[in-house]
Structure 1
Amino acid sequence: MINLEKALAGRRILIVDDLVEARSSLKKMATILGGDNIDVATDGIEAMSLIHEHEYDIVLSDYNLGRTKDGQQILEEARFTQRLRATSLFIVITGENAIDMVMGALEYDPDGYITKPYTLNMLKERLIRIITIKEELRKVNKAIDLQKYDLAIKYCLEVLDSNPRLRLPASRILGQLLMRQKRFQQALKIYSQLLNERSVSWAKLGQAICIFKLGDPNSALALLNRALVDHPLYVQCYDWIAKILLTLDKPLEAQAALEKAIVISPKAVLRQMELGRIAYENGDMVTAEPAFKYSVRLGRFSCHKSAKNYLQFVRSAQALLINPKERQTQNKANEAFRALTELKQDFSDDKDSLFEASIVESKTHLKMENLDEAKRSANDAEDMLAKLECPKIDYKLQMTETFIETDQSVKAQKMIDELKSAELSDKQIIMLNRLDNDLNGEALKRHSTSLNDQGVSHYEKGELEEAIIAFDQATHYEQAGISVLLNSIQAKISLMERDSPDKKILKNVRSLLIRIGEIAKDDERFARYSRLRKTYDRLCRAAAK
């Protein structure tokens, strides 16, 4: 066992706790135990600022740090940004009983836990145990810090030969090092030898990963599922089950695996992002929307914060905006708009993200049947597109689609003409052709509407023959709506009521009724349709006499 006072002396220590009493108490205890170079942070943001500024030997962080980064996110970011050396210690202090918090922090491999409440002696014993193991593996971890992985592997093997007591931690590091170098056969041997003697969850996971990497996904899946029988809360098994299922082209099963992992540990932002991505591709927006929403929330104080998360949240929310008049839909839309506002503020220097945000915002307004706001957002996107030095072809296609959706056909046509002279992929050519057809369809629809307006004007003046000519031209287009078809029927029926039933006109009315089909009783046009249908039937009987 080490001498704790000597072990702490001269080492740079960081204590993180948002409660002043707890922070002061822990600093006092650490000082009594030998610490003489101690910094303190009051929240996760301050902690990360200090970690980026200094190299700490020991970090003692409370798990729950209020509204900013928590202990898990500090550990995650410190490892992700490589500001936490392998020789350093990260110890989580927690009084939380919630399993999602504990499991979440466990995923990022803290060196140990200290559970509240604790006394000075309890802290001392825990630190001695944790630091002793770390010191005995110092040569290994120092080689890792220097990125001398072959040397680290050599030292691991020496530890395994000379110190059986360290077999578990040394085997774990050795397996990870071998997999880092893609030496999966050797790593598999390490894990398998250990598992022949005892059941260790991380060794089962490592064994399954190696078998998968060596080309046997089905055996790997079987191993992972057996591991979950013995260790049902080991969430990384679910992560790897999902990865393997995706390679087997089973995205629905992969999604189900991640959903189980989320129940156990919902605070892992990368897992929420992956669940959202897979569910979105599966067309399951009911699952994708909350996953992206949670990844946005978790990512606010995380190194994994990204504009893409915000955009994906809003895109998935759009699919759930079914009835704009319902309160629930309005609330969801407001959440989406708030997310876009936050994106624009936090990523104000990212022109690409601002362009995509304006496009997504326009589409969201359209879902809420607010054309004026949709057009305003589309114009914002147009302004952002003009500011991009070399805008992507896909951006121009998105802009074209948004112009069409917001009834800006002149701008859409100009963009289509420009794109026709660009070098496009097969996928982009297909989309451009679709947009060209959509634009032509919209033009025909507007032309049909114009003809319908002419017909209505003639009908109101009693000019039935002229009205019928205009309505016939309008109904010639497939884009003609039910109201246009009903107008044409009414003009023809009015003419026959004024003059006499005409079999040729009745035949034309019949074809229009067939085009309309059945109208639901709750449709506001149902009463008019029923009245015209009865009159048509009466005129048919009269013509048959």
Structure 2
Amino acid sequence: MTSRRAFYKTKTVLVVDDSDQIRSYLKSMLLLIGFDDAILARDAEMALGHCRRMPFDFVLCDFHLGQGRDGYQLFEVLRSEQLLKPDCCFLVISAERQRQAVHGMVEFQPADYLLKPFSYAELERRISRAYHIRQALQLAYQAINRKNYEEAVQACDHIVDHKSQYAMHATRLKAELLIKLDRYDEAEHLYTWALTVREFGWARLGLAVTYGYQGRQDEAEALLQELSGIAETKTEALDWLTRLYISQNRPAEALTAVEQVARHSPKNYLRQHVLATLSTIDNQKQQAVQVYQRLLTASRYSMYDTADNMLNYARAMVEVAKDQQEKDRNDTFTRIDAFVTTIKKRFHPASFEHDRMVLDARILLLQGKTAKALELLQNSEELTLEKPLSPSGMLDRARAYYEAGNLPMCDHYMAALSTVAQDDDLYCSALNLMMQHEQVKHQQLRQQLMQQNAAGMDAFGSGQYSIAIEYFRKALETMPANVNIALNLLQAISMRERLTVDLRALAQHCVEVITEGRLPMEQEKRYQVILGHLDL
């Protein structure tokens, strides 16, 4: 007992709980265990302040911290700001049962979950176990922190070679490191060996992951389907199943898988974001709006609580508006305008003005106000020079420029988007699929546009003006802000001897598109000649 007390006496510990009584109770327990003192924090912000001032060996944090960030959101911020030492033991305390990650030792995870109520003996046992596992793997985690995965593998080998009681922990960590190093057959061998010792859930899941990376997709799918029906592995098996379907360009199946796991983790921002992305790809735009709306609440107080996250809800509503009739569309625009006002109340307008301008430009384009939309896009470009763009912001710009008929700028932002979606994770997998989906959609629309315009030109050249009008009209529907198509359509209409009411309205619409847009100088004379043939 004396040696244990002497050991803990040199360690630092932070207790985070919103209850004064529980904080005091935990502190008294920790002092009995042997800690010299315990730093107390009543909420996540106070805990962050302590962690920015000094490193801790242990953090005991309640999951529910009242108003503000919860325990896991605090953990995410500490991890992203690198305020936790590689060997720090972060223990989550909760009245609800929490499950440790089955796969993900390489990524820093909470060391353990403590279910309330617990005794002094249980607290001491769990702290001791968490610390000694961290200590045994300390050199490996330090190497991982430096992103030196080869060195981390060697550290794991050293633990196994010395037949440490933590050899299986080292084997598990090594297998994940081998996957990160693309040494999939070696990882498969380790997982297969571990399963000869015991039917570890993490080993079966790891085996499925190696199958997927090695192109053995049927084997991976079958095993992941099986593991998704087991409580211990369900969440991560569904995550990997989603990734597998995405890699196979099977968005409908990926959506079904992520819908299942998202229901069980409503506050997991990245997983919900993937659900919204796959909903959009599957053309379930209303569902995407609902998911982004839920994220407004789920991300509150987290590191994802940003103006960009709030704008995603508005962007999703613009996608819905594209398919609506004028009255419903105007109602949607009114809702978007009111919502953007709430963003301004929470975040300084200057921090997201460049993105808001793109949103406004897309609305103006749907209203046929091309000139104002192009002006906003130009102004946004000038502001963007000083600000980083999120993946969602880049995608929104690509869509805006496509809708405005500026295909080179659309391609520019699609290319820029591909450079930020490089990580090997579920979020980037979904983002890449969205990018591919948008590129295919844009290519198909471009092909359709070229075919319609070419057919219209052929019909016009052979004097079949009614047929030419129909082709050009369809082409303009494909790209409503394209002034060149509007000019071709107007010219075809001008060849009719008598204009019906509908043709006159269509001609007037073409004039509005051309006036709002930017007609090339070499086409201006042609435009004036066409107008001379029309009596509008």
TM more than 0.5: yes
Q: Could you tell me which residue of structure 2 aligns to residue 31 of structure 1?
A: 31
- What is the aligned residue count? 439
What does the per-residue CA deviation read over 1:71-93, in whole Å, with 9 as the maximum and x for residues that have no partner? 11222233334332331101000
Shift of 1:60: 0.8
CA contact 1:87–1:141 (8 Å) conserved in 2: yes
CA contact 1:56–1:88 (8 Å) conserved in 2: yes
- The TM-score with structure 1 as length reference comes to 0.66
Shift of 1:254: 0.6
Cα 1:363/1:30, change in 2 over 3 Å:
same
1:355 and 2:354 aligned: yes
Q: Could you tell me which residue of structure 1 aligns to residue 215 of structure 2?
A: 215
Cα 1:263/1:440, change in 2 over 3 Å:
same
2:228 partner SS: helix
1:42 and 2:42 aligned: yes
Q: Could you tell me which residue of structure 1 aligns to residue 463 of structure 2?
A: none
Cα 1:118/1:397, change in 2 over 3 Å:
closer
CA contact 2:354–2:380 (8 Å) conserved in 1: yes
What does the per-residue CA deviation read over 1:116-156, in whole Å, with 9 as the maximum and x for residues that have no partner? 22333332233233333333434443444455543432332
Cα 1:129/1:401, change in 2 over 3 Å:
closer
CA contact 1:8–1:35 (8 Å) conserved in 2: yes
**1:343-422 pair list within 5 angstroms:** 345-346=346-347, 348-350=349-351, 353-361=352-360, 383-385=379-381, 387-389=383-385, 398=400
1:479 partner SS: helix
What does the per-residue CA deviation read over 1:403-461, in whole Å, with 9 as the maximum and x for residues that have no partner? xxxxxxxxx9xx99x99xx9x999699599965765578899999xxxxxxxxxxxxxx
Q: Give 5+ residue unaligned stretches, structure 1.
A: 403-411, 448-468, 482-545
Q: Could you tell me which residue of structure 2 aligns to residue 311 of structure 1?
A: 311
What does the per-residue CA deviation read over 1:334-389, in whole Å, with 9 as the maximum and x for residues that have no partner? 47743564268536444xx423323324656998x9x99x9999976665455455
Q: Could you tell me which residue of structure 2 aligns to residue 74 of structure 1?
A: 74
Shift of 1:248: 0.9
**1:155-170 pair list within 5 angstroms:** 155-163=155-163, 165-170=165-170
**1:155-234 pair list within 5 angstroms:** 155-163=155-163, 165-231=165-231, 234=234
1:479 and 2:481 aligned: no
Taking the aligned partners of 2:92 and 2:100, their CA distance within structure 1 comes to: 12
Shift of 1:268: 1.2
2:316 partner SS: helix
Out of 152-161 and 173-182, give the one that drifted further: 152-161
Identity across aligned pairs (percent)? 22
1:196 partner SS: helix
Give the AA of the match of 1:338. F
Shift of 1:209: 1.5
CA contact 1:228–1:237 (8 Å) conserved in 2: yes
Q: Could you tell me which residue of structure 2 aligns to residue 96 of structure 1?
A: 96
Q: Could you tell me which residue of structure 1 aligns to residue 531 of structure 2?
A: none
**1:473-512 pair list within 5 angstroms:** 474-477=501-504, 479=506
Cα 1:471/1:290, change in 2 over 3 Å:
same
CA contact 1:178–1:187 (8 Å) conserved in 2: yes
Cα 1:377/1:218, change in 2 over 3 Å:
same
Shift of 1:245: 0.8
Cα 1:335/1:60, change in 2 over 3 Å:
farther
Cα 1:115/1:333, change in 2 over 3 Å:
farther
CA contact 1:362–1:375 (8 Å) conserved in 2: no
What does the per-residue CA deviation read over 1:228-256, in whole Å, with 9 as the maximum and x for residues that have no partner? 23346531111111111111110111111
Q: Give 5+ residue unaligned stretches, structure 2.
A: 388-393, 416-438, 451-475, 509-536
- The TM-score with structure 2 as length reference comes to 0.67
Cα 1:45/1:291, change in 2 over 3 Å:
farther
1:272 and 2:299 aligned: no
Out of 72-81 and 317-326, give the one that drifted further: 317-326
**1:289-300 pair list within 5 angstroms:** 289-300=289-300
**1:437-452 pair list within 5 angstroms:** 438-439=482-483
Give the CA RMSD over aligned residues.
4.7
Taking the aligned partners of 1:196 and 1:106, their CA distance within structure 2 comes to: 19
Cα 1:344/1:188, change in 2 over 3 Å:
farther
Cα 1:383/1:209, change in 2 over 3 Å:
same
CA contact 2:276–2:288 (8 Å) conserved in 1: yes
Taking the aligned partners of 1:338 and 1:25, their CA distance within structure 2 comes to: 44
CA contact 2:227–2:233 (8 Å) conserved in 1: no
Q: Could you tell me which residue of structure 2 aligns to residue 491 of structure 1?
A: none
Cα 1:204/1:8, change in 2 over 3 Å:
same
Q: Could you tell me which residue of structure 1 aligns to residue 253 of structure 2?
A: 253
CA contact 2:333–2:363 (8 Å) conserved in 1: no
Taking the aligned partners of 2:234 and 2:121, their CA distance within structure 1 comes to: 31
Taking the aligned partners of 1:29 and 1:136, their CA distance within structure 2 comes to: 25
Shift of 1:310: 2.8
Give the AA of the match of 1:58. F
Taking the aligned partners of 2:34 and 2:60, their CA distance within structure 1 comes to: 15
1:114 partner SS: strand
Give the AA of the match of 1:235. T
1:14 partner SS: strand
Give the AA of the match of 1:249. N
2:59 partner SS: strand
1:92 partner SS: strand
Cα 1:136/1:244, change in 2 over 3 Å:
same
Taking the aligned partners of 1:88 and 1:123, their CA distance within structure 2 comes to: 16
Give the AA of the match of 1:479. L
1:18 and 2:45 aligned: no
Q: Could you tell me which residue of structure 2 aligns to residue 62 of structure 1?
A: 62
Name the structure, 1 or 2, with higher relative contact order (CA <8 Å, separation 6+): 2
Taking the aligned partners of 2:160 and 2:47, their CA distance within structure 1 comes to: 36
CA contact 2:99–2:113 (8 Å) conserved in 1: no
